[in-house]
Amino acid sequence: MADTPKRRPRRRFDDDFKAQAVRLVLDEGKSVGAVARDLDLTETALRAWVQRARANRTKGRTGLTTAEREELAQLRVLVRASFDASKQRYGSPRIHDDLLEQKSA
């Protein structure tokens, strides 16, 4: 069997490290690829950090801000919980939809 490269263990980075990496891209004009290589990061991870930082800097004009992301995550949890509760109460979602239609008629 051919030797496959081992996956790198998942690493965690603190907010200060992320902010400095993003600063190199946004404020100093270095490319995402160059900064990722210099800091031994994946370009994908650094690109996501840069995208979030741009959204925060532009107050949401270029994407969701951190506060909006947190709110969206909370709303998704509430919707999922509500959906699960309705399934327990009424069975399948299709039956639940039929009940809602009857109530509105």
pLDDT at 93 over 60: no
Q: Give domain limits for the chain.
A: 12-63, 66-105
Question: Does residue 6 carry a pLDDT above 80?
Answer: yes
Q: What is the pTM of this model?
A: 0.60
Res. 49: pLDDT tops 90: yes
Indicate the CATH number for domain 12-63: 1.10.10
Kindly indicate the confidence band of residue 94, based on its pLDDT and cuts at 50, 70 and 90. low
Please give the structure tokens belonging to residue 18. Answer: 């992320």
> For 50-90, what is each residue's pLDDT tens digit?
999 998 888 878 788 888 889 999 999 988 888 877 776 66
